[in-house]
Amino acid sequence: MTIKDDPFRCFVPYPEAPVKSAPTGPLAGLTLAVKDLFDVKGYPTGAGSPIVLAQSGIKAKTAPLVKTLLDAGARFVGKTHTDELAFSMTGKNAHFGAPINPAAPDRITGGSSSGSMAAVAGKLADIALGSDTGGSVRAPASYGGLFGIRPTHGRLSLKRVWPLAESLDTPGWFARDGKTFARVADVVFGKDRTALSETPRLLLAEDMFAQAVPDAENALRNVVQRAMPVLGEPETVKAARDLDALYWAFRWVQGRDAWNADGAMIERYAPPLGPGVAERFAFSKSVSDEEVAKADSVRKAFRNRLAKLLGSDGVLILPTVPDIAPLVSASEGELEDFRNRALRLLCLSGLSGFPQVTIPAAHRAEAPLGLSLIGPKGSDKSLVHFAVKFERAARIRIA
């Protein structure tokens, strides 16, 4: 992908190398972009970091998940930008710049799968792989008016993928339309361990809707109302007993895992880290064993609560993020405040390990806004198909 062909600055400008894909298959005819955390044979893997890129070398093997998509017929078109070491949700990389949000150019793409979102929203790729630790597929998908997924933790391979937080990391992907989104799910997922029925129980998380700003909350409630004649009326529930406790448990788990992944490299080479990223790694280094133990207890209790709430046939409905994407002109402090608010919504799937799909649901102030569905552990494929059905039922249209 050349600079001339990349008006949204979403691709890393690596020298092109041939990447083989099957001439036929269930994904034949679709183009594929890949976040620069995944190894692709013939390319380096930079992870949004000059020091990682300098040490990478050209990879001799391709990450298994990427190969699965290539073997299904998807055609590789390039590697996409990521936030530095995948430890941000703004899409701004202090070393390599920021992709442009095709759906709202005055607003951020979100991260860390910023380039993957921009490639799909900008119609430069039909599907794009990203990764999701704290919301790095779900938030950008919401900001760009796309379908996006965080699968059940551990269900899809992360072999030959640069890690951020092992106990939270998942791969994920973006698509503009439900049919394409579901085609990928049919390729990467085998039979669901917990398959949802055609008409699952719908549970509207009242406490999570309260986390959205009023205009966003109203817009998303209207989406649910539009879907009700087809899908039925949801039961109102409370998803969390103590949302602040979940937020801090997530931060402590992510911090400890992130320092385990990157701390030795940071201390050895002292690379200049960008705004926000530097502060998050400093926080990560400071997380204590006592905080980790407390986080593990909170995490286990919440996972059990959510499992009981969903059972084998429940789907939780909640906003993906509190509002539309922040403005590009927002200060670092404003972006960090928004990130912390967003984590209170995004941490549910991360802490539980349950799958979450975000669908392009609404617009506010001429920018997209996503609605999310969380299903039982192992319900990924059926959750994707239900999400497509939900989107159709609500007659959602993205301009």
Catalytic residue among 49, 113, 131, 136: 136
Q: Which two tokens stand for residue 122?
A: 């900008």
**Distance between CA atoms of residues 77 and 123, nearest Å:** 12
Could you tell me if 184 and 127 are in contact, meaning their C-beta atoms sit under 8 angstroms apart? yes
CA dihedral (262, 264, 267, 272) positive or negative: negative
Residue reference for tokens 């439900």: 178
Backbone angles phi, psi at 203, to 5 degrees: -125, 115
- Exposed/middle/buried for 42, CB within 10 Å: 0-12, 13-18, 19+? middle
Q: Taking Cα atoms as reference points, which of 185, 142, 187 lies closest to residue 21?
A: 187
DSSP category for residue 156? S
Q: Which two tokens stand for residue 397?
A: 């249209």
Q: Catalytic residue at 136?
A: yes
Catalytic residue among 49, 88, 112, 372: 112
Helix (H, G, I), strand (E, B) or coil at 314: strand
**Distance between CA atoms of residues 187 and 114, nearest Å:** 24
Q: Which two tokens stand for residue 231?
A: 């899908």
Q: Catalytic residue at 286?
A: no
User: Residue 127, by phi and psi: left (phi above 0), alpha (psi -120 to 50) or beta?
Assistant: beta
Torsion, Cα 297 302 303 306, to 10 degrees, reads 170
- Exposed/middle/buried for 333, CB within 10 Å: 0-12, 13-18, 19+? exposed
DSSP category for residue 94? T
Active-site residue set: 35, 112, 136
